[in-house]
Amino acid sequence: MSLVDLSKHIALGVDIGGTNTKFGLVNHRGQILEKGSIKTDNYVEVQDFIEAFYERVQPLLEKYSQEKYIDGIGVGAPNGNYYRGTIENPPNLKWKGVVPFSEMITQRFGISCKLTNDANAAALGEMMFGAARGMRDFIMITLGTGIGSGIVCNGQLVYGYDGFAGELGHTIVKPGGRKHYSTGSEGSLEAYASATGISVTAKKFRAEFPESMLNEYPEEQINAKTVHQCALKGDPIAIEVFRYTGQKLGEALANFVMFSSPEAILLFGGVIQAGDFLLKPTRFHMERNLLPIFRGRVKLVFSELDEANAAILGASALVWENKS
């Protein structure tokens, strides 16, 4: 054990989302000492955002600086680039172009800042505080409106040559398949297994099967949640929506396993509320597509982190990450 008193060290974790930016002061145990949020979309100019953020957070930092060391600021952001500390052409933020966010934060606060994309931050959070504690090789998949992913090999996040590794949602699971609503690619995992993809599948299936309970909802209410409700009531078409989704997801996961041979794949995000309706077919189709040497060896589990805090914890973990 080190003689350094880790309990005195804290980090500021920041999760930048299209609507809200959440932040928290986190200690080495993953306890959030303080947290708060400001509206991201109130600020068309990133400079104004930084200023408002500083005014909101600086008093907190001063309060804790009496008795704690603030080791740094970690930021998870859409299209965040670890190497450059930039947020690059984020589709769901008002800030355009390449924003040197990390540098701006460091200059304003006088504290070093590390930045990565939100999915990578989530993976770090799992490694430091969640279901991946002690693991050196795992893959984290976030199934939300889109699909994000963070890949850890040899105990390190895989950033790749240019810092954009881990775009697993955009891998093609069915060549020539369903067109992605924004990228235009055909047959990507995100087009099937994101919440958005699930609602596309559900709308298609309910049109084919008029007897499905899914037809009791108006079009705009067909989403992963309502499909789950119908599945719970025993609607076979709703159950089939998750089975189909799980097949596509499981086939993709098998390919990921044969790439990096992880100890575990962690699933995270709103879609996992579907529980076994999704998990069972996913596992079946993953195993089915694996080489025998991989079968039965890879844990497929849900995240242990509370979704409301995970992004903050993950961003703070970035401050303490070992990067060779």
Footprint of its own copies on 179-198 (CB under 8 A):
183, 185
Cβ(309)–Cβ(24) below 8 Å: yes
Q: Decide: is 246 part of the binding site for its own copies (CB under 8 A).
A: no
Give pairs for 139-142: CB < 8 Å, separation 24+: 139/168, 139/256, 139/260, 139/262, 139/264, 139/265, 139/266, 140/265, 140/266, 140/268, 140/303, 141/168, 141/253, 141/265, 141/266, 141/267, 141/268, 141/269, 142/118, 142/268, 142/269
Torsion sign, CA atoms 45, 49, 54, 56: positive
Q: Which of 109, 105, 89 is nearest to 97 (CA)?
A: 89
Only one of the segments 9-17, 217-225, 252-260, 302-310 lies at the binding site for its own copies (rule: CB under 8 A); that segment is 252-260
Separation of CA 309 from chain center = 12
Say which residue the tokens 């955009």 belong to: 170
Q: Which residue number, 155 or 275, has a Cβ lying nearer to its own copies?
A: 155
Instruction: Please tell me whether residue 65 adopts helix, strand or coil conformation.
Output: helix
- Which of residues 53, 159, 192, 205 is near its own copies by CB under 8 A? 159
Only one of the segments 11-19, 123-131, 133-141, 213-221 lies at the binding site for its own copies (rule: CB under 8 A); that segment is 133-141
Cα–Cα separations (whole angstroms), residue 178 to 189, 200, 222? 10, 10, 18
Beta bridge partners of 156: 153
- Which of residues 72, 74, 166, 246 is near its own copies by CB under 8 A? 166
Q: Which residue number, 27 or 255, has a Cβ lying nearer to its own copies?
A: 255
- Which of residues 259, 275, 276, 308 is near its own copies by CB under 8 A? 259
Q: Decide: is 289 part of the binding site for its own copies (CB under 8 A).
A: yes
Tell me how far, at minimum, the Cβ of 321 lies from its own copies, in Å.
Answer: 12
Q: Decide: is 297 part of the binding site for its own copies (CB under 8 A).
A: yes
Tell me how far, at minimum, the Cβ of 182 lies from its own copies, in Å.
Answer: 11
Q: Which residue number, 91 or 218, has a Cβ lying nearer to its own copies?
A: 91
Tokens linked to 229: 């409700």
Only one of the segments 54-62, 116-124, 226-234, 247-255 lies at the binding site for its own copies (rule: CB under 8 A); that segment is 247-255
Q: Decide: is 301 part of the binding site for its own copies (CB under 8 A).
A: no
- Which of residues 41, 71, 103, 137 is near its own copies by CB under 8 A? 137
- Which of residues 45, 48, 62, 162 is near its own copies by CB under 8 A? 162
Rounded to whole angstroms, how far apart are CA atoms 269 and 186?
Answer: 24
Q: Which residue number, 106 or 185, has a Cβ lying nearer to its own copies?
A: 185
Tell me how far, at minimum, the Cβ of 21 lies from its own copies, in Å.
Answer: 23
Tell me how far, at minimum, the Cβ of 274 lies from its own copies, in Å.
Answer: 22
Cβ(260)–Cβ(151) below 8 Å: yes
Q: Which residue number, 103 or 137, has a Cβ lying nearer to its own copies?
A: 137
Rounded to whole angstroms, how far apart are CA atoms 121 and 127?
Answer: 10
Burial of 209 (0-12, 13-18, 19+ CB in 10 A): middle
Footprint of its own copies on 64-93 (CB under 8 A):
88
Q: Which residue number, 29 or 323, has a Cβ lying nearer to its own copies?
A: 323
Q: Decide: is 167 part of the binding site for its own copies (CB under 8 A).
A: yes
Q: Decide: is 203 part of the binding site for its own copies (CB under 8 A).
A: no
Q: Which of 298, 188, 198 is nearest to 254 (CA)?
A: 298
| Chain contacts with its own copies (rule: CB under 8 A) | 88, 135-137, 151, 153-156, 158-168, 170-175, 183, 185, 251, 254-256, 258-263, 289, 291-294, 297, 324
